Amino acid sequence: MGMDFSTLRSLISRFCAGEENCVDTRTVYIGHKEPPPGAEAFIQQRFPDNRIVSSKYTFWNFVPKNMFEQFRRVANFYFLIIFLVQLIIDTPTSPITSGLPLFFVIIVTAIKQGYEDWLRHKADNAVNQCPVDVVQHGKVVRTQSRRLRVGDVVQVKEDETFPCDLILLSSSRDDGTCYVTTASLDGESSHKTYHAVQDTKAYKTEREVACIHATIDCEQPQPDLYKFRGNINIYMGNEPVSRSLASQNLLLRGATLKNTEYIFGVAIYTGMESKMALNYQSKSQKRSAVEKSMNAYLVVYLCILISKAVINTVLKYVWQADPNKDEPWYNEKTETERQRHILIRAFTDFLAFMVLFNYIIPVSMYVTVEMQKFLGSYFIMWDDEMLDEELGERAVVNTSDLNEELGQVEYVFTDKTGTLTENNMEFIECCVDGTVYEPDAICNGQVMPGAADIDMIDTSPGPQAKERAELFFRALCLCHTVQVKEEETVDGIKHGIHQGKSSSFYISSSPDEVALVEGMKRLGFTYLRLKDGQMEILNRDDEIERFELLEVLTFDSVRRRMSVIVRSSTGELYLFCKGADSSIFPRVISGKVEQVKARVEHNAVEGLRTLCVAYRPLSPEQYEQVCHLLTRAKLEFQDQDKLVAEAYDLIERDLILLGATAVEDRLQEKAADTIESLHKAGMKVWVLTGDKMETAAATCYASKLFRRSTQILELTTKRTEEQSLHDVLFELKRTVLRHYGAMARDTSSGLSSEYADYGLIIDGATLSAVMRPNQEDSNSGNYKEIFLEICRNCSAVLCCRMAPLQKAQIVKMIKASKEHPITLAIGDGANDVSMILEAHVGIGIMGKEGRQAVRNSDYAIPKFKHLKKMLLVHGHYYYIRISELVQYFFYKNVCFIFPQFLYQFFCGFSQQPLYDTAYLTLYNISFTSLPILLYSLMEQHINMDILKKDPSLYRDIAKNSLLTWPIFIYWTVLGVYDAIVMFFGAYFLFDNTTFTSNGQMFGNWTFGTLVFTVLVFTVTFKLALDTHYWTWINHFVIWGSLVFFVVFSLLWGGIIWPFLNYQRMYYVFMQMLSSGPAWLSIILLITASLLPDVVKKVFWRALWPTTTERIQNADKLYKGQLSEFTPLEALQPPHKAGSQRRGSANQRNAANPRRSDTPNKKVMLTRWQRMPDYCTFTPLLRLTEGSRRSKLGNAYSRAGPETAV
């Protein structure tokens, strides 16, 4: 690890450079050339070099920094204090007993973190030393990436990665464009187009580029990947030429050059100031509910520890107050020690008792929990059922700290597009002035075969309608940012060539645009290419039409539309605009609005994504005005974004409506089954989407979020326009509370159809009004609380027209509600990152909207359907395992230390240890740690197939039910009981008894060894009794740990160890085992310790069994065959005679049916092997009841009614 001087360098730079680093802009001199005299003042600013530093430590600061971070943990700091006390004062136990486990934990953690940081240093060096081509004095010179400086002109060749953030000066293409993929930044593999500065794109060679004399004024570095503003001043004559710069001129570090031979660019942000580096921000630390419970238990045990020490200290001085019971002479206390002030002596004794009892707080528990979480996370990554063969992707665990939180989820917030749906767009139809056109159904006004069942408004349009339709098709062929690629080259092999001819395909950052352009191709208008500013279209007559692309008004989420301005070959000027219906209809002044609006609403109800298309012819004067508006807005440095938005708003007015399109985004496989299972598991599912209400609602019905019986409550802008928000909220509240008693969802079969099942729909605008702080109007009330009350009594909630920030606000609101439920957010796009980071557990989908969600999530899965197993199986297991681990650790330490506390009453409170130093040190490290670690990794209390088939079992562990205070107190009381049995059982068996054949009596070390032997066997057998899933590894570890204890004790007491200054344990263990009564007492005490817990479990299971315990009993009864199912597919019901759908529906993939298709009905048959009768799976809890049998010995039931939209 080399020394990192970046911090020191930045401080020196700040002081040397003065105040210029504090301003909002920076000036970059291209090629480090000073501006001409009189142009502007030359102020050389200081910028960081191009080194990337992702490491955390350096060679010099590793030890102090790592130690500081480790001792910030309360447990580590506590044990450090105990260790120091043992060193400073005379304590009954050796400092090794506390120091060895502590230093073992510290050293192992330091080695792990040091190794991880060394790997980061290694990766940093590989990046910083990679070669880069820099233009110097008209020649290309190769140097290392870390030596790049702001202002250097860099040459990047095809398939190379940009070494820093560059402004594109020129490219090998004549039009000055280049194609870039930003997969390493946002995961989008699509090719994006970037543009060179207009006045420098002609400079093609290094000599020409070296002659550029210009400066760049731009904003200081900021992390937003998609925003940039600046100006370039080019000195070509007397007056400099100023051009505006935007994000399409900025090439980001980490992006890759594609389909372009080379480019030249100037470095403006380097090293840790590049946008990629600024996005290396650490996520906020999330803590699980189990960790919070564990910390609460630690506080309780710390109080118990202090109280024990106080009681013993007080009783010691009470006992020594009697002159006959003063401290014995053989303790060899000096006169100085005897004359010390009583408070000092009492405090010293208090610390000594703290040291003696400190093992009640186990430092090894933290290590075991960390290992359990880290190793347990691999079970998710290794799960073959969560492997997507199509993507070749497995589930990914980005943080293992929240594994058990997967078993505690109460609210699921999910995105719609790409999460519930495939984000695989298919063009369905377009409507032009009321006429519906479908690919492969209508061509040149003729109805094609197979299209007879299509609902056509007008199947034979006239000449005028045909002309309007062709204008609509041309508009969609021109209004987009799609790129055409002739062939694909991968590893030198060319793809995309069919029958010797180059076959083109479309690339875009938006799958909607590709679907629309491909739909136009199927309707007879093919977009060919953009070449030299000319967009080429092949029409139905196989004629190439050319349009000059003049301006692109890019899409943004606020306007929700995009436009292009083109000039036809005849000189006519057009503005074509497409966007959401809510952003187009208000700007339309003519066209068949009602017919198109009706079709848009019809398609939205069917769950199709709709866009409206409009146009506006421009006169040359109007175009000049448009150019003036855009140029003035783009040259303005301050508030550039606002001015550009205002200019777009002025331009996109007075439109003529052409029509609308419909694109289908199919529901993901098993999405409906997953949501239904989550409902049955007691979770509330909310869909948060930016889509329109009708489309989102149709998706919710198809995915079974809403059922046929669901009563929909609307809290939308449309309704609040008719009534006040106050009235609507209180009306909805009255409605849901009226049926509050009937809506208790505690049945194991999920939501019953007997009582009202409510679903709420709210839009973004109304949500903003609800979330707004209370107004002065006294009638406003606390809207947020009322809204929460309504939501609590709804089985599902749909939030549509949501902005990304609103998604996070909703999650935060639910988290902060009085129940403090555990939340989970799942999404696939950059717009879902905010809610993923806000939720307790964030899950990213490996979808088509980039990998930002995956990178910012705690877990990543290939498809939404994998969420079911992740929560119902993995989450269930993780929670069961770690809750047992935590409770068991506290239990075994109470058993360990409470006999030590009792022993002080029999040794004059002299702080005499009951156990030998070796036993004190190794109890938590070796003798009892491995069995519980293996249990916490492998335990399966119920077969995983049953957990998947019966989601209601998830309710048994909800709300941290296994780590509640009553259960914690039970484990603690059980530990105290076992400790009392062990101590007093051994004590009374020792009373006036000679155990050996030669008449020798046992000493105090033999007594302590007997208690310790009973202790180790008892706590190990207790874990064995709690284990349901036995494998050879369990047997090996549990019985092996007991064998190891016996072997260690024989060796420890059977050899005189030369490095010890005492031999008090010599022959103690062998002497104890040679006594018959000792064997009998060990067996009796172990039995007496375990008996109450066994009796309690037997009675509880017989009288008050939980759902989990009933299924465990049934699984044992049927010898593990409970989960073997035979699914039978019933015949698909025949289609209705009046069933309406389009001709192309017959050609769709049967595996992905349309939402409007009636789904197949399934019959689930469950067979109990080796048994004469059969029964359905559903009544698992009534396995012992008499089930209805047929003559053939089997009974089956049909699935309930399914929702078809």
Question: Which of 212, 226, 221 has the alpha carbon at shortest distance from 266?
Answer: 212
CB within 8 Å of 319: residues ≥ 6 apart: 325, 908, 909
Side chain identity, residue 1137: A
DSSP 8-state class, residue 633: H
Q: For residue 369, which of 1023, 923, 924 has the smallest C-alpha distance?
A: 924
Measured CA to CA, the distance from residue 1145 to residue 1128 in angstroms comes to 26
Angle at CA of residue 116, ends 111 and 120, nearest 5°? 140
Closest CA to 1173 of 1145, 1197, 1194: 1194
Among residues 152, 165, 401, 415, the one annotated as catalytic is 415
- CA–CA distance, 469 with 659 (Å, rounded to integer): 9
Catalytic residue at 673? no
Judge whether 91 and 83 are in contact, CB under 8 Å.
no
In this structure, is the dihedral angle defined by the CA atoms of residues 423, 426, 431 and 432, taken in order, positive or negative? positive
Residues with Cβ < 8 Å from 206, sequence gap 6 or more? 135, 138, 139, 140, 155, 264
267 vs 361: CA distance, rounded Å: 56
Task: Give, in order, the Cα–Cα distances in Å from 251 to each of 156, 162, 486, 628.
Answer: 11, 7, 24, 27
DSSP count for the chain of H helices, then E strands: 38, 43
Is the CB of residue 890 less than 8 Å from the CB of residue 1019? no
DSSP string, 1078-1130: HHHHHHHHHHHHHHHHHHHHHHHHHHS--HHHHHHHHHHHTTT-TT-EEEEEP
Rg of the chain over all Cα atoms, to the nearest angstrom? 37
User: Which amino acid, one-letter code, is at 811?
Assistant: V
Segment holding 661, helix H or strand E = strand 655-667
- Smallest CA-to-CA distance from 1133 within 1198, 1060, 1068, 1053 is with 1198
Distance CA 711, CA 728 (A): 16
Q: How far apart are CA 554 and CA 193, in angstroms?
A: 13
CA 513 to CA 475: how far, in whole Å? 12
User: Which helix (DSSP H) or strand (DSSP E) does residue 245 occupy?
Assistant: strand 241-245
d(CA 763, CA 760): 10
Rounded Cα distance, 693 and 707, in Å: 17
* Residue appearing with tokens 């019985």: 1039
End-to-end CA distance of the chain: 62
- Category of 1067 on φ-ψ map: left (φ > 0), alpha (ψ -120 to 50) or beta: left
Residues that are catalytic: 415
